[in-house]
Amino acid sequence: MDAKHVFQELEKMGRDGLSASDLIDLKGTGGLTYNDFLILPGYINFPADAVSLETKLTRNITLKTPFVSSPMDTVTESEMAITLALLGGIGILHNNCTADEQAAMVRRVKKFENGFITDPIVLSPTHKIRDVIDIKMRLGFTGIPITEDGKVGGKLVGIVTNRDIGFREDASADLSTIMSTDVVTARNGVTLAEANQILRESKKGKLPIVDENGNLVSLVARSDLLKNRDYPWASKHPNTKQLLVGAAIGTRNADRERLAKLVDAGLDVIVIDSSQGNSSFQIDMIKHIKETYGSKVDILAGNVVTRDQAANLIAAGADGLRIGMGSGSICITQEVMAVGRPQGTGVFQVSQFARKFGIPTIADGGISNVGHVAKALSLGASCVMMGSLLAGTAEAPGEYFFLEGKRLKKYRGMGSLDAMERNDSDNSGSQARYFSESDKVKVAQGVTGAVVDKGSIKQFIPYLITGLQHSLQDMGVPHLHNLPEMVANGDVRFERRSAAAQIEGGVHD
């Protein structure tokens, strides 16, 4: 046959592989996990580094990368949330702690990087050196404006930096004795670009913004200018330029008080954390949040694995859905409770339904490598939530320890007895997540283990980004936002894998 007829012959034979809807054939094959299928290669006519990974977290929040850290007490506290946001993702702070502790974590993230800092820490001339030292210990910075009354809006009279307190032994001395009074300022109304230019030229660390009467209005930090240069993909609020951060809450009445403190601290997205999200408790919480805070905070509801569950939460007002039940590496819900769903099927079924209403979905659980990230996204998820993949990194909470020559960090499921017993029932997000705070006998739905040291996510997340870009390139998908349409049109093709095929695809003899 002449080669000029090759495409006619291809059209006659039909396209290779399966469409996504044919892959997820519930009657024929049952539920599928990420290891049960592969994505077939497409046509490449673009470089991998040109692939955009921009995606939706919720209806109103867009990220540069689809990476979200799980609200687990061995995965996400403020250090993880800060670093992941700088790298284009977002961290969800766990709630296995008091409300004040969780709100303090939100504040640490929001204070880390700003555009115009409209509520800077301010002191008065009569405050002591010890007050500056205390702020440095709690929040990690100095460079504090001094106003006559110690408040924003007061007349600026000086500034105290680390150089001013560095060699002072008398911590009880007034700040008026050490503060710098020759302060470089900018007038209110200056643009952020102009303010950054003044910082470059003056070589100062902080630039107070004052009104026509010399009263302090806001502050711009040189450290933020450097972060803008080093982290161009950072996830920031479009107006305040602060890093984006999320936090988990439960559905109890006490969580409404917790939520108020989190919103006051500057929270961007709230995750209603439940192993089974299709409940009257969660629906009531969604309605309360919408009625009380409106568009001030977005809601990620869940967890769900079926269209029926998703429908109730979408109708209640959810801005995004979290998909997964029993698929995490240290989660045993499916085995213990006999309830759940294979993650691949759950992601596809819920995502296809939610997309009709403009609701993004987050695949939560079962992500153990960059290939699983690509598969979750190909099945319709907008983002992936990672627990074990980020546990063991330098930014994860906890101390390293050595066992049989390996450097490890503790990692536990939020349904483990270990996590449930961390706090009393009033402060245990772990117990509330599994509706077990009033149970006399606790039934574990997770386990406790350890993971090998992975180093810093400052190296690990760029690896995931590059790997995902190459995966999309191999699929023939130029940008992540093109993937759902190409899957729906049948341009991205799939194939199921036998047990032998799975062995063949890994390291083998």
* Burial (0-12, 13-18, 19+ Cβ within 10 Å), 405: exposed
Q: Kindly report the CA angle at 367 between 318 and 388, in degrees rounded to 5? A: 100
Identify the DSSP state of 421: T
* Other C-beta atoms lying within 10 Å of the C-beta of residue 399: 6
Distances (CA, A) of 397 to 23, 92, 412: 39, 13, 12
For residue 249, the cross-strand partners are 272
Tokens (6 digits) for 90 = 């977002």
For residues 243 and 82, the answer to whether their CB atoms sit within 8 Å is yes
307 counts as catalytic? no
User: What is the distance, to the nearest Å, from the Cα of residue 32 to the centroid of all Cα atoms in its chain?
Assistant: 26
What is the Cα–Cα distance from 89 to 35, expressed in whole angstroms?
25
Identify the DSSP state of 425: T
Identify the DSSP state of 40: P
97 counts as catalytic? no
From 331, 341, 383, 412, the catalytic residue: 331
Collapsing DSSP to helix, strand or coil, 246 comes out as: strand
Provide the b/e sequence for 174-191 (b: ≥16 CB within 10 Å): ebeebbeeebebbeeebe
For residues 190 and 209, the answer to whether their CB atoms sit within 8 Å is yes
Q: What is the DSSP annotation of 105-144?
A: HHHHHHHHS-SSBSS---B-TTSBHHHHHHHHHHHS---E
* Other C-beta atoms lying within 10 Å of the C-beta of residue 435: 16
186 Cβ partners below 8 Å, 6+ apart? 194, 195, 198, 207, 208, 209, 210, 220
What is the Cα–Cα distance from 439 to 441, expressed in whole angstroms?
5
356 Cβ partners below 8 Å, 6+ apart? none
* Other C-beta atoms lying within 10 Å of the C-beta of residue 123: 21
Catalytic residue ranges: 331, 433
